[in-house]
Structure 1
């Protein structure tokens, strides 16, 4: 279900702009021009229906930010907009549990709002761990992060942090205070960095560092960033977002580099990286299969390359569903590869025969034309820890499948 954004704003121009921004973020704007109207609209709603609220500080019936209090007390992550921002208003806004505030005077700030809406949605799946011996400090940091929809974890020791990180792979950011109990903070950061690359886990050091020496030691030990206590709220949040966005950007680059552009399946490069990594554990049993679409050149020649591309996409989608528990990749052209770790020979043969039947039983529909599709498969179940050797064997068996009439599985 499409999530909503409650907009409490009395300026016609601001309402128009905010409505467009919310719709561009593929969210549903719910508009109120006064605090009274907002209360009426929200009366029959649940907080879970809303991603957040965007609230003007100064409204006709709420001139001192009372609408902000309503949104916060309604358990809505609240973004505040204001036409004027003197120091008193700024302090008044930040004294409340808001996500952030945005002065209307700066056009760039609306671009920031767009990114903030996207962040609030993405943060729902991102974990942040706060390691600090002082319960009040770590609780305050965790509460601030939860305003931004992060999933938070807290602990006081390095040992507890290791356990939490092992258990929760969605943790992307760790705050390490300089006074953790059971290990010097710089040594723990150094250990963390050996376990997790910078592009997988961001580490931010925390300390009351007045002479700048500790910040340098943290960063040299492997931290991505450093925040001095007492921290400035806006700087703190900017550093959090920058470090999370850096990890996401790297993930996007990785995904692009490791994904076949046409089918969306992993590509040959990612296949070798993943399988070689898995083979370090030396699975007791394994199998590998090469799959090749039959008469694919004829499909291209008869129906055109667009039809050929559609056949590849449809087959890849079917393979992705059937092989969701194993490793699959498009190797190039009309060839796919499946790696089945911890499969007995019987299980592997059964799975590949199932694939062969599923591909053949339903033609691909392209522009009202039904295109029959079959696949030939070479499967090796020889437990050779040399992946290249297994590929060579599977390729020979695939050739036999083609020679024996296609649309079949040949195994050793």
Structure 2
């Protein structure tokens, strides 16, 4: 992973501020107060270890942006900062192959810089599709996106873009012109909205100044945003960032709502959604297990609730490793649920018994003490289209496992249609 950020800034206060922002992003600042010092530091390190460089336009030994040329020529994504707000300086900087240009005019600029640094690592896994019949605009937008480490797919037509979306699930943004060879941009947007919500895929429309109403047409057709041509570097990248972050924020809220805060497993609500929506037609061969920790109250009473939390986390981790292709949930308290679609009676019993035995021999460190936990498992393998029937049957088997002495698995293999 690229952990280093080269910071070239002769103002000590600015150097400290940018270094703190780099640390905040979980990265390591490599500080230099001049181009000469930067050259020496860079020569001593592995070039591939640098995620990016934050470079001041004017330095004592590089007064006209020579440090920018150094980092760009070294193939380091370069963010330029400057106290000069003149248009001529901006144009000169943006003519170079830089990530972005940031005038140091207020405190909010540093917040933007922090987001930009974080994005350069995150963008490596995010796909963006650029769709335009105009080669010059398409190449220009693709170039800007590549500088920000996005995975870019450049397409001539709507159908080519749809083929890319069908193949690559990591695409989060589509940027489309209106004049496409196979359909209009607004028709394309409307078509995409049948398959993707605004929370799943962001869409930005683009058109020249002659199409004054195109912004409204695109938005009404389902686009998240709109840009007028010609593209302005800063506006384009700010809007791209905002739309990507919108989708990420919605994803984060959804994960928080569907995830158990302690173990990181899906919660009960997400379990029912997954089984009843993702598996709308339950398979004839299936199993559902309820896993309940034995004597969990004694662990809390003896070692404290922090110990109980550590046991639950350990169980959650072991469940994820043991059932990575199945549907898991923490149902609440010390109770977990595992749904195993397309598993025979014997396959389900074998996987669950392997888990039970593994848990019993897993040491759990509680301070200086080592404790062990066990569980009782009730399994239902009845053929039914009703998840509630499966749960009730598994609960009955769990009760049986408890009454028989705990730390064991009980399974009802009787085929019953509900």
Please indicate, yes or no, whether the TM-score normalized by the shorter chain is above 0.5: yes
Q: Distance in 2 between matches of 1:177 and 1:105?
A: 34
Q: 1:361: how far off? A: 1.3
Where structure 1 has 5 or more consecutive residues not aligned to the other structure, the ranges are none
SS at match of 2:273: helix
Structure 1 stretches of 4+ with a deviation exceeding 3 A read 44-47, 281-284
Per the alignment, residue 295 of structure 2 pairs with: 295
Q: 1:109-165: CA deviations, max 9, x gaps?
A: 112211111111211111111111223321211110011111111111222212211
Q: Distance in 2 between matches of 1:165 and 1:283?
A: 29
Q: Distance in 1 between matches of 2:162 and 2:384?
A: 35
SS at match of 1:299: helix
Which has the higher mean CA deviation after the structures are superposed, 210-219 or 170-179? Answer: 210-219
Per the alignment, residue 317 of structure 1 pairs with: 317
Per the alignment, residue 167 of structure 2 pairs with: 167
Per the alignment, residue 181 of structure 2 pairs with: 181
SS at match of 2:261: coil
Per the alignment, residue 231 of structure 1 pairs with: 231
Tell whether the 8 Å contact from 1:2 to 1:28 is kept in structure 2 after alignment: no
Tell whether the 8 Å contact from 1:279 to 1:385 is kept in structure 2 after alignment: no
Per the alignment, residue 136 of structure 1 pairs with: 136
**Which residues of 2 match residues 3-402 of structure 1 at below 5 A?**
3-280=3-280, 282-402=282-402
Q: Distance in 2 between matches of 1:316 and 1:28?
A: 33
Q: Distance in 1 between matches of 2:138 and 2:405?
A: 67
SS at match of 2:194: helix
Q: 1:102: how far off? A: 1.8
Q: 1:144-202: CA deviations, max 9, x gaps?
A: 00111111111112222122111111110011110122122212211111101111110
Which has the higher mean CA deviation after the structures are superposed, 52-61 or 330-339? Answer: 52-61
TM-score by length of 1: 0.96
Q: 1:211 to 1:128 in 2, by over 3 A?
A: closer
Tell whether the 8 Å contact from 1:293 to 1:334 is kept in structure 2 after alignment: yes
Per the alignment, residue 415 of structure 2 pairs with: none
Q: Distance in 2 between matches of 1:215 and 1:404?
A: 69
SS at match of 2:287: strand
Q: 1:45: how far off? A: 4.0
Q: Distance in 2 between matches of 1:45 and 1:283?
A: 56
Q: 1:340-374: CA deviations, max 9, x gaps?
A: 12222221111000111011112422122333311
Q: Distance in 2 between matches of 1:377 and 1:275?
A: 20
Q: 1:37: how far off? A: 2.6
SS at match of 2:338: strand
Q: 1:3-56: CA deviations, max 9, x gaps?
A: 101111212222222222222222111122222332232235444211100111
Q: 1:53-100: CA deviations, max 9, x gaps?
A: 011111122211111111112111111111222111111111112111
Q: Distance in 1 between matches of 2:282 and 2:296?
A: 36
Tell whether the 8 Å contact from 1:125 to 1:151 is kept in structure 2 after alignment: yes
Q: 1:2: how far off? A: 6.1
Residues matched between the structures, number: 412
Q: Distance in 1 between matches of 2:296 and 2:180?
A: 62
Q: 1:252: how far off? A: 0.9
SS at match of 1:354: helix
Q: Distance in 1 between matches of 2:119 and 2:245?
A: 9
Tell whether the 8 Å contact from 2:284 to 2:384 is kept in structure 1 after alignment: no
Q: Distance in 2 between matches of 1:283 and 1:29?
A: 54
Q: Distance in 1 between matches of 2:91 and 2:363?
A: 65
Q: 1:292-329: CA deviations, max 9, x gaps?
A: 11111222223222222221111111112212221111
Per the alignment, residue 416 of structure 2 pairs with: none
Which has the higher mean CA deviation after the structures are superposed, 306-315 or 50-59? Answer: 306-315
Which has the higher mean CA deviation after the structures are superposed, 226-235 or 104-113? Answer: 104-113
Q: Distance in 1 between matches of 2:316 and 2:280?
A: 28
Q: Distance in 1 between matches of 2:217 and 2:175?
A: 15
Q: Distance in 2 between matches of 1:222 and 1:24?
A: 36
